[in-house]
Amino acid sequence: MSKALLDRFLARAVRHGRLGVVYADGSATTHGVETPGFPDIIIRFTDDRVPRDILTDPRLGAAEAFIDGRLVIEEGDVMGLVSLLRANNPWDKGGEIGPPRRLKRLVNRAAFAAEQINSRLGARRNVAHHYDIGNELYALMLDAEHWQYSCAYWAEGVTTLGEAQAAKLAHIARKLHLSPGQEVLDIGCGWGGMAIHLARHHDVRVTGITLSEEQAALARERVRAAGLADKVTILIEDYRDTAAASRRFDRIVSVGMFEHVGRAQFDTFFAACAQMLADDGVMLLHTIGRFGVPGTTDAFTRKYIFPGGYIPALSEIVTASEKVRLIAADIETLRLHYAKTIRCWYANCMANREKIIALYDARFFRMWTFYLAGAATVFEHGGMGNYQIQYVRSRHALPITRDYLYP
């Protein structure tokens, strides 16, 4: 029964490109037709439970079957498999992967709501789940110079991941409209790449805060190696505690951190930022965002990747920030930049497959590459992009045209 239902689902889901499915009993079906630009993929199920698991929750069921080695990709790879499914059902044209199931959605919403409290203790635990798994993994995946684990900026003429991350740092620095000697707060500073860039190229003092022990340790090493210990301070600190200390900053930057705040804490986050930002200050928020209406975080991401995380809709960001009279001076939408970035990370992981398996195991490698494949394709075909929102408290804080960004 599950096999027949899955075949009907896949017949609707795959029209372009071909997906071959070999069931545990040896029977096989093929869906779709050969189409330029769409991959051909063959998968095999090692037991009879896989079709039922996929039908129950397509993303989580397929992910766990792949992670456990019960869904084997015989031809192609996981990036190709996820690309095939998403390319056939693009968000732009109203597509949605998976049969709508009211009970599954209700359960997901209930679990998601319970995880969105994100207290100080919960926030630190959630960050550790993803970022304290070892800097060795990120050294194999990210760009070697800047250690940027966020969307790069693929400006015209940029061809490598390192160049794109350097372009991102420079692009954000321009939006901060910096002057020498200013005090800058970097919320969610990661491994220190942004702080180092700003201090080195703009002669400012940067306080970087993170909740990750692993990130903080390496960030401090990188700051010392760059000869910037007198200009950059890295703290293990919650942004709420920074605000409680009544410190104020000329500039605030936050890149790739807002996704971890949790929807229940949006108002708290912006109230803290408004409190810490100088009267003539400028803030730049760089975050993943939804193109459509507010939603929930899927079960796979909550369980394996970012517990407590939530990707906001633009309306949710603006609704929270407007309550504290932060003026959105500029909003830029990066539509395909993150897809290109994540595909580079995926390629680096595939090139370092044996090293990553030696650090962890084959099951972890399958989980991690499934995550990257899903992430890349949701920015290519799904409802996700990146927003860079520039905030000011005073309408006079910046020039009144964008000419200062690229004179």
Digit-coded pLDDT (tens) for 285-310: 999 999 999 999 899 999 998 888 89
Residue at 356 is within a domain = yes
Q: Same domain for 53 and 133?
A: no
Determine the pLDDT at residue 286.
Answer: 98
Tell me, yes or no, whether 260 and 295 share the same domain. Answer: yes
Domain of residue 88, CATH code: 3.30.1050
> Amino acid letter at 326?
L
Distance from C-alpha of 241 to C-alpha of 239, rounded to nearest angstrom: 5
Using CB atoms within 10 A of its CB, is residue 125 exposed (0-12), middle (13-18) or buried (19+)? Answer: middle
| Interior angle at CA 150, CA 299 and CA 386, nearest 5 | 75
Q: Are residues 143 and 88 in the same domain?
A: no
Residue 345's contacts (CB-CB under 8 Å, 6 or more residues apart) are 141, 142, 161, 372
The parent domain of residue 265 ranges over 118-404
Residue 70 CB burial class (10 angstroms; 0-12, 13-18, ≥19): middle
Q: Decide if 234 is inside a domain.
A: yes
Q: Is residue 250 part of a domain?
A: yes
> Residue 279: how many CB atoms within 10 A of its CB?
10
Rounded to whole angstroms, the Cα distance separating 54 from 130 reads 25
Structure confidence by residue, pLDDT tens digits, 192-238: 999 999 999 999 999 999 999 999 999 999 999 999 999 999 999 99
- Contact criterion met (CB below 8 Å) for 219 and 191: yes
pLDDT number for residue 306? 85
Q: Using an 8 Å Cβ cutoff, are 153 and 167 in contact? A: yes
Residue 42's pLDDT is what?
Answer: 98
271 plus 180 within the same structural domain: yes
**94 Cβ neighbours under 8 A, 6+ residues apart:** none
CATH of the domain at 355: 3.40.50.150
- Which residues does the chain have with pLDDT short of 70? 1, 95-132
* For the chain, the helix, strand and coil percentages under 3-state DSSP, each to the nearest 5: 50, 20, 35
Q: Is the domain of 7 the same as that of 139?
A: no
**Count: domains in the chain:** 2
Residues 326 and 256 in one domain: yes
Residues 173 and 309 in one domain: yes
Q: Domain check: are 126 and 72 in the same one?
A: no
> Quick check: helix, strand or coil at residue 376?
helix
Beta bridge partners of 283: 252, 391
My answer on whether 91 and 187 are in the same domain is no
Phi/psi for 101 (5° steps) reads -130, 115
Tokens 């790879």 locate to 77
**Nearest Cα to 22, choosing from 60, 65, 72?**
72
* Rounded Cα distance, 69 and 290, in Å: 31
pLDDT value at residue 93: 80
Instruction: Answer yes or no: is 111 within a domain.
Output: no
Shared domain for 265 and 391, answered yes or no, is yes
Has this prediction a pTM greater than 0.85? yes
Query: How many other CB atoms sit within 10 Å of the CB of residue 13?
Result: 22
Same structural domain for residues 221 and 369? yes
294: in domain = yes
Q: Check residue 114 and give its pLDDT.
A: 53
Same domain? For 137 and 46 the reply is no
Tell me if 108 is assigned to some domain: no
Q: How far apart are CA 342 and CA 247, in angstroms?
A: 35
Residue 106 lies in a domain: no
Q: Do strands 183-187 and 249-255 pair parallel, antiparallel, or not at all (unpaired)?
A: parallel
